Amino acid sequence: MVLKDDDASGKTIASLDFGGEDIRVINFVLIKTLYFCPMIHDAFTAKKVAELLIQINAIKLEPKNPFTWASGWTSPIYCDNRIALSYPTVRTYLREEFAKQIEKHHGKPDAIAGVATGAIGIGALVAEKLNLPFVYIRPKPKGHGRKNQIEGVLPKNSQVVVIEDLISTGKSSMEAIKALREIDASIKCLLSIFDYNFEVAQKRFEKENVSVYSLSDYNHLIELATENRFILKSEEQILKNWRLAPQKWKP
């Protein structure tokens, strides 16, 4: 498509070439669309994980009776993936999928690191499955004893896969990654159970050159919930609107 001004009309014209024929389109509109990178390796797994999390009430969708997050945001969804550890079938499925995706798409690392506290349990399970060392990263160093921020033994220059239970703004994940990089660890990727697909997180990881993937995410969750009639069509739109501007959203 070629854009040019038409001298006779003063309008901008789009010139399209279809098999040698020049077709002119007048009074068109260019629409800017905001895309969120899905960061998903497998769509089937993404919907399966979302379904499991809904079944065990790790994810709750309440468009008409929203939750208040610790940040003060009002939200029609609440996600607590730590609940998955109480369900052997679910935690085993998550462990197996993490291990499979790590080996298939990223290559076996030197160690697995879990972001405290939510990813300590699932991170240790993944490390056990892959027969790898495990460490976890505190939000900040302890104020006593060895004053560690990273708990466990991790040699310098280790290739590390970081495990998260949930990604929202990406702040806590990025702080953990920075702590690992300070001891010269190399981050192969960050993998989470669930990702809200917030633009702020995507920009944060892109800026720090971090590769991020998730077993499931908000987009696949909403698709699943709509297809299985867990939510009404009107509620689907509410959930989509919230994700675009969660800090400003009001029920």
* Residues forming a β-bridge with 160: 111, 187
pLDDT of residue 251: 81
Query: What Å distances lie between residue 38 and 57, 102, 197, 219, CA to CA?
Result: 23, 17, 7, 8
* Residues forming a β-bridge with 214: 40, 192
pLDDT of residue 70: 84
Which residues of the chain fall below pLDDT 50? 1-7, 9-19, 21-23, 25-36
Would the CA dihedral through 58, 226, 93, 169 be positive or negative? Answer: negative
* Residues forming a β-bridge with 100: none
Would the CA dihedral through 106, 111, 112, 113 be positive or negative? Answer: negative
Give residue-wise pLDDT tens across range 47-100.
999 999 999 999 999 998 999 998 889 999 999 999 999 999 999 999 999 999
DSSP conformational letter for 123? H
H or E stretch at 60:
strand 59-61
Q: Where are the alpha helices (DSSP H) in the chain?
A: 43-55, 88-101, 120-130, 171-182, 199-207, 218-227, 233-244
Nearest to 116 by CA among 105, 124, 127: 124
* Residues forming a β-bridge with 49: none
Nearest to 215 by CA among 191, 197, 199: 191
